[in-house]
């Protein structure tokens, strides 16, 4: 076996990757950017075996996504309480990865470059698993709140890859954890009208927010206050219009967004 890591993956990338694995709460914004860049570079790392050559991304798809994704999602959808029960499910599947790769000859104790492939697999698996746990939580919450929506079937491998996770008020939306949101923004921009995500505000506090294109918010309400990136947490839960260079987004806390969406849907229903 021979593994070729692209020259663009430097010792700094490896350093930040190790620090991320040890404790990601210590990373600065620049280090997060370096981490994402390093993982992106590893997409094209090559594994050469007697059976042929595959990139890390191709081998992840073949050995992890194809083997584990659908069974994980079926188990996830069967959980009654995703928030409390999904961590054990994620860990159970993540711990299957090492034995699976060892059996396939892709994780060898005496070949440290294969460790890098194992890290790559666990990194993307955990992001995948957490991302869908978050999506299921949000979709269930919206439905329980009475919001009418169409959501894609995550058990279907083709539908799962659709750009939008849901449609609400004819607006396309996505539920994205931080990592997926930034990776998606980097490769696709923001093709959807709104994005539900979760931010860390210190300690154990998480904040659910919705990032929207201004045109999407106009359809729901339209009213905003002007803000700067550094003001956002102080201005929420009001809808905050953020502009940085030519990019404009309206950010609102999730509960307020949901309430306004419900108001519009009920008004539409009354008008019919």
| 200 makes contact with another protein (CB under 8 A) | yes
Q: Which of residues 219-238 bind another protein (CB under 8 A)?
A: 229-230, 232-233
DSSP the chain: -EEE--TTS-HHHHHHHHHHHHHGGG--HHHHHHHHHHHHHHTT-EEEETTEEEEHHHHHIIIIIHHHHHHHHHHHHT-S-HHHHHHHHHHHHHHHHHHHHHHTT---TT-HHHHHHHHHHHHHHHHHHHHHHHHHHHHHHHHHTT---EE--TTSHHHHT-S-SEEETTEEEEE--HHHHHHHHHHH---SSEEEEEEE-STT-EEEEEEE-HHHHHHHT---EEE-GGGHHHHTTS-EEEEETTEEEEEEEHHHHHHHHHHHHHHHHHH-
Q: Binders of another protein among 118-147, rule CB under 8 A? A: 118-119, 122, 126-127, 129-130, 134
**Binding to another protein by residue 103, rule CB under 8 A?**
no
For the segment 29-58, give every residue that binds another protein (CB under 8 A).
29, 32-33
Q: Decide: is 80 part of the binding site for another protein (CB under 8 A).
A: no
Return the number of the residue (89 or 169) whose C-beta is nearest another protein: 89
Instruction: Name the minimum Å distance from CB 136 to another protein.
Output: 13
Contact pick of 116, 136, 138, 147 for another protein (by CB under 8 A): 116
Q: Which of 46, 70, 162, 178 is in the footprint of another protein by CB under 8 A?
A: 178
From 42-50, 110-118, 150-158, 264-272, give the range in contact with another protein by CB under 8 A.
Answer: 110-118
Residue 244 lies near another protein (rule: CB under 8 A): yes
Cβ of residue 270: shortest distance to another protein, in angstroms? 37
Whole-angstrom CA distances from 224 to 47, 236, 264 are: 51, 11, 17
Residues of the shown chain interacting with another protein in the complex, contacts defined by CB under 8 A: 14-15, 17-18, 21-24, 27-29, 32-33, 87-88, 90-91, 94-95, 98, 109-110, 112, 115-116, 118-119, 122, 126-127, 129-130, 134, 177-179, 181-182, 185-186, 189-190, 197-202, 206-207, 211, 229-230, 232-233, 242, 244-247
């Amino acid at each position: 076996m021979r593994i070729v890591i692209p020259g663009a993956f430097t010792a700094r990338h490896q350093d930040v990757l190790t620090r991320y694995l040890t404790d990601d709460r210590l990373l600065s914004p620049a280090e997060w950017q370096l981490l994402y860049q390093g993982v992106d570079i590893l997409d094209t790392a090559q594994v050469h075996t007697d059976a042929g050559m595959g990139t890390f991304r191709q081998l992840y798809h073949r050995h992890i996504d194809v083997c584990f994704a659908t069974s994980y999602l079926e188990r996830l959808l069967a959980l009654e309480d995703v928030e409390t029960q999904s961590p054990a499910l994620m860990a159970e599947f993540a711990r299957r990865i090492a034995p699976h790769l060892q059996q396939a000859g892709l994780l060898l104790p005496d070949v440290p470059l294969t460790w890098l492939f194992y890290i790559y697999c666990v990194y993307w698996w955990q992001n995948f698993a957490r991302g869908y746990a978050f999506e299921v939580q949000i979709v269930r919450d919206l439905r329980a709140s009475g919001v009418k929506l169409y959501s894609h079937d995550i058990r279907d491998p083709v539908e799962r890859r659709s750009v939008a996770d849901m449609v609400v008020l004819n607006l396309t939306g996505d539920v994205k954890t931080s990592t997926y949101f930034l990776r998606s923004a980097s490769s696709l921009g923001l093709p959807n009208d709104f994005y539900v995500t979760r931010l860390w505000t210190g300690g154990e506090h998480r904040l659910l927010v919705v990032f929207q294109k201004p045109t999407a918010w106009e359809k729901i309400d339209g009213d905003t206050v002007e803000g700067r990136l550094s003001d956002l947490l102080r201005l929420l839960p009001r809808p905050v219009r953020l502009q940085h260079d030519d990019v404009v987004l309206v950010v609102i806390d999730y509960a307020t967004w949901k309430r306004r969406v419900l108001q519009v849907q009920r008004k539409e229903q009354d008008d019919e």
